[in-house]
Structures are given as C-alpha cells and as structure tokens.
Amino acid sequence: DQQVKQNSPSLSVQEGRISILNCDYTNSMFDYFLWYKKYPAEGPTFLISISSIKDKNEDGRFTVFLNKSAKHLSLHIVPSQPGDSAVYFCAASVNSGGSNYKLTFGKGTLLTVNP
Amino acid sequence: EAGVTQFPSHSVIEKGQTVTLRCDPISGHDNLYWYRRVMGKEIKFLLHFVKESKQDESGMPNNRFLAERTGGTYSTLKVQPAELEDSGVYFCASSQGFTGGWADTQYFGPGTRLTVL
C-alpha cells in the first residue's frame, strides 16, 4: 500500500512558466516532508523540506505548500528553467518522538521544461 | 567536502552468485541509510544505521541480505545468493543526526545498479 503518491508520472511546461508538482499521503503520522530532484544515473538531490507545523516554505525559485487536512503537498517552481528537467520525488518521514527518519518516497514525476 | 560515494556503480551477476555493495558516507555523519529502487517502483527503505548499530532493518527483504557498518564508518550490503528480483538500484544516504529539532537532511549517493541474470 503506497503511503506517498505522486499521481502524475510526467509534466511538461514552457521555460519561464510555473511548474506545479503534486503529492498526496495517507499516513497521518508523517510530519516532515521533502522534495528531491534526480537526474539520470545520479542519486536524489535534496531540494526543499517542510515540517508539519508550517504550511509554506520558500527557497529561491522553489516553494513547498503543505495542506495537512487534505494530506497534500505541492512543489512550485517559478520561473521554470530547462535545467530543472529531472525526476522529482516527494518523500515523507515521521520525526516526532523517534530517532529513525527513514523516508517513504512517491514514485516520482518527470518534469520536462521546454525552451 | 566529498559527498556520499558508492562502489561499484554497476554490477552484473548471475543468479546464485554473491555481490557486495559498499557505501562511504559523508565524513562525520552518524546516520547511514540503505534504500532500493526496483524498476518502475518507488525508492524503498531497507535499513538504518546509527554509527555501527542497526537502528531499523524493517525494510530488508529477507535473510539473503546482510548489512554491516564496521567501526561506524563505511557500510557494506551483501546479497547472497542473489535472485532475479534483487535487480534494481541500491542507494545509500547519510545524515549528520538528530540535533533536537527536525530531522536533518539525508544526502544520497549515486547508487549501485545491480543486474541479476
């Protein structure tokens, strides 16, 4: 049973426009969420994270929004650049009261930014 | 500062053989994680070390998989004997450790692509 779902396998946007990648989760114990970017033949690279006490976190062109009641988060990239083309993974973990922060990943969304 | 390194980058073996994957975490990182991505599926957790101790090995598929982290530095993941379904990309990640706030970031290595024929 998949606890983290990325329902769009792929997304294509024009350079300069906004890219919105979505992620849903089912485990209400998750309280820390991350986005990773992955290029072919490389490992996932950390992009941005958000804890459950916030509903928004921003870092340059990247903003993550968290809607706890809907168990939904999204990653906004604006403006999108061709170098952003990669697979984006949503991941979640349970942090409160424990010491094991294993990540549960979605299947990923392939973002293609067209020049 | 060197990132997480993994060796080999690619391994092709026959069913029934043994393979050992190695991960060198970022220097000073106490936490080391192993993950696996089977083709077409999500990246899945295998196990977690804190220094040399196994904190959680709930994701290990079966007893054909053995992970070690001698001296709390590098880690090895041995598959013996390998089966066809073990094919996939094995990622290692490391993090500094819990510092009293939210969990710190896990940094991933490039992965080892294992193909079992």
- pLDDT higher than threshold 90 for residue B1: no
A89 at the B interface (CB within 8 A)? yes
- pLDDT higher than threshold 70 for residue B112: yes
Residues contacting A2, CB < 8 A, separation 6+: A26, A106, A107, B42
Task: Verify cis geometry, omega within 30 degrees of 0, for the bond prior to B81.
Answer: yes
Please give the DSSP secondary-structure letter assigned to residue B100. Answer: S
pLDDT digits (tens, 9 = 90+) for A92-111: 998 765 566 899 999 999 99
pLDDT digits (tens, 9 = 90+) for B12-45: 999 999 999 999 999 989 999 999 999 878 999 9
Spatial separation of the C-alpha atoms in residues A35 and A106, rounded to whole Å: 10
Supply the pLDDT for residue A100.
Answer: 65
pLDDT digits (tens, 9 = 90+) for A29-80: 998 999 999 999 899 999 999 999 999 999 999 999 999 999 999 999 999 9
Give the torsion sign (CA, A82, A84, A86, A90): negative
Q: Name beta bridge partners: B48.
A: B33, B56
pLDDT digits (tens, 9 = 90+) for B38-96: 987 899 999 999 999 998 999 999 999 999 998 889 999 999 999 999 999 999 999 98
Q: Do B44 and A95 touch (CB under 8 A)?
A: no
Nearest to A102 among B45, B50, B109 (CB): B45
